[in-house]
Amino acid sequence: MRKGRRRYPYAVGDRIAGDLTVIGHLAAGRLGHLYQVWSAREWCALTCKILTPSLRDDRRAVAALKREAKILRRVDHPNLIRSFGEGEHEGLPFLLMEYIEGPSLFELLERRPDRRLRLPDA
């Protein structure tokens, strides 16, 4: 992780766990940050969800991210993102998921006046 003041823990060009290169920051949530990364091993773009550094010592936060990784590993459905594994970088657990181009579910709901998806969009 590069030092200095910045908004997100990792910047474009930073390396995570050796073979992942940060392409961009996608979002931040309660537990962590989502990054688009390039995987030299898979030779494709993936999404990396990595725990926020300030939660490194929070056992509940670490357990929640690990639980999410475990669930994602067990799910295999064509309409859901695929897991590409998990790991740890600088003491922070992360999970790797399929990267899908397009708006988030939140963005889709924000576009609708009733905040509901139509059946074809669901």
In tens digits, what is the pLDDT along the chain, a chain of 122 residues? 555 556 788 999 999 998 999 999 999 998 999 999 999 999 999 999 999 999 999 999 999 999 999 999 999 998 889 999 999 999 999 999 999 998 877 788 888 888 887 777 76
Domain 15-121 matching CATH 3.40.50.720: the answer reads no
pTM score of the predicted model: 0.84
**Separation between Cα atoms, residue 55 and residue 32, nearest integer Å:** 9
Domain residues of the chain, as ranges? 15-121
CB 22 within 8 A of CB 12: yes
Task: Please tell me the predicted confidence (pLDDT) of residue 55.
Answer: 95
The pLDDT assigned to 7 comes to 72
Q: How far is CA 19 from CA 7, 46, 83, 107, in A?
A: 23, 12, 17, 31
